[in-house]
Each structure stands twice: as structure tokens, then as C-alpha cells.
Amino acid sequence: MSQAILGIDPGSDKCGVAVVDLGGTCHCREVVPTSDVVPVVQRLSTAYPVVRIVIGDGTGSEALIQALREANILSRLGVPAVVDEAYSTEEARRNYLLEHRKGWRRLIPLGLQSPREPVDGYVAEVLARRYLREQRTGQGGGMGK
């Protein structure tokens, strides 16, 4: 992997984080307490060749950007791109269910199933992929809101 995007789904209690390469493959997906997100971002941006941070525009995005700035993470990666979170949870839920569709779960329609764990990491992955798609199609700059 030559370069990657670090997607973050900020929340008041927990945050989803995901590392997605420029081809769209997810290499890491986690759900962490909001209080731990800055050290996790520091760890992942060091462990992977992260060139851009992408943050959902929902709850806590401004506070998270400020915390990343104060931790001096943005001096290397620049201002995070802010991406529209509309329907990202629904898309993430579907991705989770499709990925975990094994055994008897294949027989039950997705709309009748529920994820067995929080999907915040999947939301972060969706946000990173949205950013990549925007960059490829020239829609939005992904910068600020």
C-alpha cells in the first residue's frame, strides 16, 4: 500500500476509525471511545502511510479537529477533509451485514437483521470511500464545510 486515507466517524461516546488505501480497500477498522480517538489516530497515522484524514460532519467533528490540531497531528497531514455523513450509517449497516452474511443469516433478508456490534468503524470506512469517490469524480473538494 503506497498511500491511505484515515476516515473518522466522530461521536459523543465513541468514534469509528478506518484506514482505506487509495484503491478503496479497507486495511483497518476500529471503534474506540471518543476520549481515546486522538492517540488511536496518532498510532494509525504512524503505522499506515496516511496522507489525508477524513472526518464526518456530524456530532463532535469540530471538537475532534481541534483536538487533532492540539495534538500536533495536523501539522503533518493538513486540515482534515469534512465529508457529508448523510445515510452513512445505513450504508455501513448494510456493508456489515453483507460481510457477516454466513450460515442461516443468508436466508433472512438484510432488512430484518441487525448488526451484532457497533458499526461506527464501517461508517468511517464509508466516509473515506466517499472522499475518494469525490476526488475521482471532481465533486466537492472534500475540504471544509
| CATH architecture of structural domain 4-137 | 2-Layer Sandwich (3.30)
pLDDT of residue 59: 84
pLDDT tens digits, residue range 11-23? 999 999 999 999 9
Q: Does position 142 have pLDDT exceeding 90, yes or no?
A: no
Residue 141 pLDDT greater than 60, yes or no: no
The pLDDT-based confidence of 9 (bands split at 50, 70, 90) is very high
Domain ranges of the chain: 4-137
Quote the percentage of the chain above a pLDDT of 90.
81
| Other CB atoms within 10 Å distance of the CB of residue 131 | 23
pLDDT in tens, 33-87: 999 999 999 999 999 999 999 999 988 999 999 999 999 999 989 999 999 999 9
3-state secondary structure of 80: coil
Question: In whole angstroms, how far apart are CA 122 and each of 36, 66, 98, 99, 112?
Answer: 18, 23, 12, 11, 19
